Amino acid sequence: MGDIMFMGEYHHTIDEKGRITIPAKLREELGHDFIVTKGLDNCLFIYPKAEWQRIMEKYKNLPNTKNVRNFLRVFLSGAVSSELDKMGRCNINPSLIKFATLKKECVIVGVNERLEIWSLENWNRFMKDNEDNLSTIADELFENMVI
């Protein structure tokens, strides 16, 4: 498998059974089965299985500090293996729905090696809170690069 690069923003709904359709453009790279877990900033992260294995290898090398242990507890406690059904839907665990406060309207965002699922409300708040800082952040991150 080559390097994965997810990108784009897709608006979908989550149904009463906790199912959300993964956009067709993203399904091939995601693969049939994958990991869904608690993300940062009140969203969920979805990783293809191969990418998840790479992350787990990196975590094995982290120091055994309180911060690392606490992060891994939160990150891994919500991790569940999932797969797409015949309609291209992913079933989201109720505890993950609660964690990310997912309601009917959701946003799926491609972020390089993973997908993120946001409630529309949280996504809009995130975008509003960060719009003014984006230029400053870009300047800091890419100080010596041309974009």
Kindly report, residue by residue over 93-109, the tens digit of the pLDDT: 999 999 999 999 999 99
pLDDT digits (tens, 9 = 90+) for 45-101: 999 999 999 999 998 899 999 999 998 898 898 899 999 999 999 999 999 999 999
Check residue 18 and report its DSSP letter. Answer: S
Return the H-helix or E-strand segment holding 26. helix 24-30
CATH 3.40.50.980 holds for 6-119: no
- 3-state class (DSSP) for residue 93: coil
Residue 75, C-beta contacts closer than 8 angstroms, at least 6 positions apart: 37, 38
Name which of 19, 48, 21, 24 is nearest 36 in CA terms. Answer: 48
Domain boundaries, the chain: 6-119
pTM of this structure: 0.86
Residue 2 confidence class, pLDDT cut points 50, 70, 90: low
Return the H-helix or E-strand segment holding 42. none
pLDDT digits (tens, 9 = 90+) for 4-25: 789 999 999 999 999 999 999 9
